[in-house]
Structure 1
Amino acid sequence: MCVEATPPPAGRLTRRGVLAGAAALAGTMAAATGPAVAAPGGTGGNGGTGGDLVIEGGTLLDPGTGEVVEDAVVVIVDGTVRAAGRRGGVTVPRGVEVLDAHGRWVLPGLVDAHIHLSTAAEARAAVRQGATSARSGSTSFYQDIAVRELARHSPALAPRLTAAGVFVTPDLGETVLADPDLTPLARLKDGVRSAEALRRVVEVNLARGADVIKTRVNERAGLPEQDPLAQVYSYEQLAEIVAAARRRGKGVLCHSYSEQGCHDAVTAGVRSLEHGAFVGERTLREMRRRGTYFTPTLTAIAGLAESTNPVLAERGRAYLPVLKSAVLAAHELGVPLAAGTDSSGGTVRPIGREVELMRAAGLPALDAIRTATTGAARLLGRERTVGRLARGFAGDAILVDGDPLADVTVLKQPVRVVRAGLAV
């Protein structure tokens, strides 16, 4: 079968239909039409705009500069930070709800740079655990695109999301049912491997509104019957995917494990390397040269070690120390790092756990925090709006009990979360 002979991805009607189906699958329709989430001193969560809020009296940490300000005030108007600094140096508007932060540390909302959000419940869980921004690691039926729209409509219900759509992988499985323009690929004997088929999945994703493209170079670590070091796409195939995405100005994130697979992905031009347990020094040096990000998802690998399946448990125990060493080597070489939990399947892990593991890998506390704030924000192209509490940035914040520079584990359990000026 020649994929090139099929028409280009259909236009608006099909896209709207796909998005409506994705919203139904994700449960975002019910979430968006349910009771409004009250915004202190501002608009309701269903209003599509942020709220007005003053966070007062806490110790403010700016990950961008490392500056710590005691007895700080953060003023959020219409979901955006208007001012932040020491009390007395900030003008506080009258009549705005005040969130008392005395005795607590205040940080910008965290960023989970690799998470699979397929339902509205998962999206809410991510926000409540401090992930106010995120990047999808793909979903089976475009649910992440619907979650992204939910976040725009009702910001307190979901992180602002960079959506990846469906996975570019040799075997699409049930995902061929996600879109009428993918169903012809089910007839391909060898799966999605030809240049034409690879371009088709990228083009359909982008036609449906994906912000980034997700692909793989190795098999999965989380399935005992697969070999994570087995390579499924070649350098040439990865380069085809990257080129198709770049023609539309989009980046590619790549699931990887083996050193050769990591090297092929990086030299093919991916924007970020995901997992990458066995990435070697030659590839890390190439990543530094190219500015390629490393999203190690330590949380997911640590989770394997807790599996009841003996194959997965042994895999997790063997991979975690190797991956920690790779993370420290990347940091010392100057490779940009981003925190991601790889949460999926209904279990949403706190992004603070990933920061904890970054710290355990040997990163200084501030640098570990940056992987889930300023560093991850740059990867998502949101470095001017996310990752700091400064004028013009998003009014996203977390309040924690304790000094995160002394003990990053406090980030795992934020006592309050603010999303776009809305107290969650």
Structure 2
Amino acid sequence: MCVEAAPPPPSRMTRRGVLAAAAALAGTATVATPAVAAAQDRGDKAKAGAARGGDLVVEGGALLDPKTGDVTDDAVVVIANGVVRAAGARRDVSVPQGVQAVDAHGKWILPGLIDAHIHLNTAAEARDAVRQGATSARSGSTNFYQDIAVRELARQVPALAPRLRAAGVFVTPDLGDTVLADPDLTELARLKDGVRSAEALWRVVEVNLARGVDCVKTRVNERAGLPEQDPLAQVYSYEQLREIVTAARRGGKGVLCHSYAEQGCHDAVTAGIRSLEHGVYVGERTLAEMCRRGTYFTPTLSAIAGLAESSNPVLAERGRTYLPVLKQAVLAAHERGVPLAAGTDSSGGTVKPIGREIELMRSAGLSALDAIRTATTGAARLLGLERTAGRLVRGFAGDVVIVDGDPLADVTVLKRPAQVVRAGIAL
């Protein structure tokens, strides 16, 4: 839940700078598999900004469509240039000759999963996220715009990173070393009270927008992952949050907001955020407002469960206290019709499987299918990918997760994918 520091990139992220950063990130990865090497070669030859995927056939498994809940036995998914060209029962799909095939007999076939809250600071983390099934993701911020480079890496060499919505740097009172992320942020280090004035808040948002972010991340409460902080203490008022939302909307972007206390949750939602993150003590009045506005809830149950396993007694007690409360909030939100999205809040070099978040959604009281939807169709809508990800139908991304068992009977199989396909490339 706390983003680790990393060396700052160049001042302005020009296209050449983005590509250089992406190349540097790629260089930190382990030795590529032949499939990844081939993908890299194709990426070198692709047009700028347009990643080329692979050609692949996945055949023989039970295909689950999260939107409808339909299951198709002995299914075939045909992927060409990284995009689904056909998917359905074998009798209804023409299988091309001479194309690499993945045998999924006895297994289940699902669309690639989506992690709607993750901190990807390195190529290794990006690679781990994909291999654990998160073929699309939304950044929860990085200290030095690493997520923008990861986003470009995913476009150039999709096998190495999830399709990513980047948030840039955190809009928070204390930027810390993040003031070094861009020369236009350095003057904020002089502010005695930190980033709190309307002018300072707009400055951070505008620098993010200039860097090309897809969304803006802020917070209303202190952090839960730092034992010296009180997660229920409020750091921004409704008025300050409104300034952040207004600045982001001026650039056509939505805001995700880190929150814990009910008052903070309510202030954030009524200020107009797009999604509420964590939200342990979100109350009925706020859930009602979220339902009315269509505000998403990304509870990051994995992160809170992780606190309970901490060796620090303060954090462990915090996690044990928060987790059952958060599960109740998730179920209450679901029953009210608040849209849910799965997010692991992975950071600090350890990438949690998105399947773990689905498992916790299930344990909170959602049906298996609804829990899966939080990491497929539900998260896709939040990320603006509802016509790209979350299903395996014609025209959608050729991202596939294959598992050894029936996820409708046991969602834990999603924590250990038997095979992942990213843009038609079998990993």
TM-score, structure 2 normalization: 0.93
Superposed displacement of residue 17, structure 1: 9.0
Deviations 1:98-145 (A, max 9, x none): 110000000000000000000000000000000000000000000000
Question: Could you tell me which amino acid in structure 1 is paired with residue 417 of structure 2?
Answer: P
Match of 2:146 in 1: 143
Tell me if the contact between 1:38 and 1:44 (Cα under 8 Å) persists in the aligned partners: no
SS in 2 for 1:114: strand
1:45, 1:338 → 2: CA distance? 33
SS in 1 for 2:84: strand
Q: Which runs of 5+ in 1 are unaligned?
A: 1-11
Superposed displacement of residue 38, structure 1: 2.0
Which of 250, 275, 280 in structure 2 is aligned with 1:277?
Answer: 280
Superposed displacement of residue 14, structure 1: 2.5
Which of 380, 388, 395 in structure 2 is aligned with 1:392?
Answer: 395
- Two-structure CA RMSD over aligned residues (Å): 2.0
2:15, 2:195 → 1: CA distance? 24
SS in 2 for 1:252: strand
Question: Could you tell me which amino acid in structure 2 is paired with residue 204 of structure 1?
Answer: V
Match of 2:73 in 1: 70
Tell me if the contact between 1:59 and 1:104 (Cα under 8 Å) persists in the aligned partners: yes
Q: Is it true that 1:367 corresponds to 2:370 in the alignment?
A: yes
Distance 1:210-1:263 versus aligned 2 partners, 3 A rule: same
Distance 1:45-1:397 versus aligned 2 partners, 3 A rule: farther
Tell me if the contact between 1:359 and 1:365 (Cα under 8 Å) persists in the aligned partners: yes
Superposed displacement of residue 16, structure 1: 2.5
Distance 1:45-1:372 versus aligned 2 partners, 3 A rule: farther
Distance 1:49-1:34 versus aligned 2 partners, 3 A rule: farther
Q: Which runs of 5+ in 2 are unaligned?
A: 1-9, 45-50
Match of 2:99 in 1: 96
Match of 1:8 in 2: none
1:397, 1:36 → 2: CA distance? 18
Tell me if the contact between 1:41 and 1:52 (Cα under 8 Å) persists in the aligned partners: no
Tell me if the contact between 1:126 and 1:158 (Cα under 8 Å) persists in the aligned partners: yes
1:156, 1:21 → 2: CA distance? 16
Match of 1:38 in 2: 35
Which of 233, 236, 239 in structure 2 is aligned with 1:233?
Answer: 236
1:406, 1:382 → 2: CA distance? 27
2:40, 2:216 → 1: CA distance? 34
Which of 9, 12, 22 in structure 2 is aligned with 1:14?
Answer: 12
Q: Show the 5 A alignment for 1:13-412.
A: 14-16=12-14, 19=17, 23=21, 27-30=24-27, 37-38=34-35, 44=41, 46-47=43-44, 48-412=51-415
TM-score, structure 1 normalization: 0.94
Match of 2:6 in 1: none
Distance 1:119-1:42 versus aligned 2 partners, 3 A rule: closer
Distance 1:21-1:233 versus aligned 2 partners, 3 A rule: farther
SS in 1 for 2:62: strand
1:18, 1:265 → 2: CA distance? 37
Superposed displacement of residue 23, structure 1: 2.2
SS in 2 for 1:151: helix
Deviations 1:1-48 (A, max 9, x none): xxxxxxxxxxx9823299459927x94152599758527998846343
Distance 1:304-1:158 versus aligned 2 partners, 3 A rule: same
Distance 1:369-1:264 versus aligned 2 partners, 3 A rule: same
Tell me if the contact between 2:373 and 2:379 (Cα under 8 Å) persists in the aligned partners: yes
Tell me if the contact between 2:36 and 2:160 (Cα under 8 Å) persists in the aligned partners: no
Distance 1:50-1:32 versus aligned 2 partners, 3 A rule: farther
Tell me if the contact between 1:124 and 1:158 (Cα under 8 Å) persists in the aligned partners: yes
Tell me if the contact between 1:42 and 1:53 (Cα under 8 Å) persists in the aligned partners: no
Relative to structure 2, which stretch is displaced further, 248-257 or 43-52? 43-52
SS in 1 for 2:91: coil
Question: Could you tell me which amino acid in structure 1 is paired with residue 382 of structure 2?
Answer: L
SS in 1 for 2:174: coil
Question: Could you tell me which amino acid in structure 2 is paired with residue 342 of structure 1?
Answer: D
Superposed displacement of residue 95, structure 1: 1.1
2:232, 2:260 → 1: CA distance? 6
Distance 1:327-1:45 versus aligned 2 partners, 3 A rule: farther
Distance 1:65-1:43 versus aligned 2 partners, 3 A rule: farther
2:33, 2:305 → 1: CA distance? 37
Distance 1:69-1:395 versus aligned 2 partners, 3 A rule: same
Tell me if the contact between 2:340 and 2:378 (Cα under 8 Å) persists in the aligned partners: yes
Tell me if the contact between 1:134 and 1:160 (Cα under 8 Å) persists in the aligned partners: yes
2:39, 2:306 → 1: CA distance? 40
Match of 2:417 in 1: 414
Deviations 1:145-172 (A, max 9, x none): 0000000000000000000000000000
1:40, 1:76 → 2: CA distance? 19
Question: Could you tell me which amino acid in structure 2 is paired with residue 62 of structure 1?
Answer: D
1:39, 1:20 → 2: CA distance? 20
SS in 2 for 1:233: coil
1:291, 1:192 → 2: CA distance? 29
Superposed displacement of residue 359, structure 1: 0.1
**Aligned-residue identity in percent:** 78
1:347, 1:405 → 2: CA distance? 27
1:22, 1:371 → 2: CA distance? 34
